[in-house]
Amino acid sequence: MLCIKIHKSYRTVVALCDANLLGKRFESGIFQLEVRESFFKEREITREECILVLQKQAREDATFNIVGKEAVETAREAGIINEEHVSYIQTIPFTLLLI
């Protein structure tokens, strides 16, 4: 299952993560990644619905913060990222994409 939250400010930020990563923290050297529920979870979403949301937000010039294997694969399937956009911390894939 995926969790998504859309933050509205001067530019929309779409936060997407694998539900099983909520509340976890990952570190590697000087880098750290904290998957806070307050940032990533407004609601749970199916993969199919998520693809539509990601494509719509990409057309509207959103920024994306994506964490987790399922979330990254869903973003790839939606056509908003490719492998060169993906980094890893403790084997957890993530990306920050500014379109």
Question: What would the pLDDT profile of 64-76 be if each residue is shown by its tens digit?
Answer: 999 999 999 999 9
User: What's the sign of the alpha-carbon dihedral 11, 12, 18, 19?
Assistant: positive
Confidence (pLDDT) at 86: 96
What residues contact residue 97 under an 8 Å CB cut-off, 6+ apart? 63, 64, 66, 75, 80, 81, 85
Q: Where are the domains of the chain?
A: 2-98
Regarding pTM above 0.75, the answer is yes
CATH T-level assignment (fold) for domain 2-98: 3.30.1860
